[in-house]
Amino acid sequence: MVGGISICLVLAQYLAFRPEAVQHSGVYLACIAILTLIGAIDDKIDLNFKARMFVQAVLSVIMMSVYGIDLHSLGNMFGFGDVSLGIVSPVITILAVIGAINAFNMVDGIDGLLGGLSIVSLASIAFLLQVNGHHSLGYFCLVLMVATLPYIMMNLGIFGRKRKVFMGIERQLRWPV
């Protein structure tokens, strides 16, 4: 269980030296540490999905209250004009965050897929942040990408196929000789 933990440690170290990189970096760091801890516990003892989703929902509410971020609109999704979420905006935001967390969690077992999706997503977000003048957050995405590279190399077996590292469980593989 070293992939996610190592990435969390890299982010913690980065934010310890550059807390101004992310607004409310202490809250952000606490939330990712809790998510990492829950993930490690889940990998070890297989937590009930309700407990995991409850923690993810609580962290979503913290994110919404501290950062003031939630989904207000789905845009012109159906071609009939802007779809406003109105009063259900917080609920939809919580479901979107839980969905994103678990979507990434589900693809961890396929070699290179999670790392590749992460790199592409982070690169796209970094580009958009840079274009809009949020250079510190764009650089933070770059740090996340660099922190993910060792995981990808181990996951793809670049340093040998004896061991593969997943975001969750480290698995010992036995290859025929």
Task: Give me the pLDDT at residue 175, please.
Answer: 41
Amino acid, single-letter form, for residue 142: L
pTM: 0.80
Q: Judge whether 28 and 20 are in contact, CB under 8 Å.
A: no
- Can you spell out the DSSP letters for 123-161? HHHHHHHHHTT-HHHHHHHHHHHHHHHHHHHHHTTTT-S
CA separation for the pair 11, 36 (Å, rounded): 12
Question: Which parts of the chain have pLDDT scores under 50?
Answer: 169-177
pLDDT value for 176: 43
73 phi and psi angles, rounded to 5 deg: -150, 150
169: left (phi over 0), alpha (psi -120 to 50) or beta: beta
| Domain positions in the chain | 3-70+110-172
pLDDT of residue 170: 44
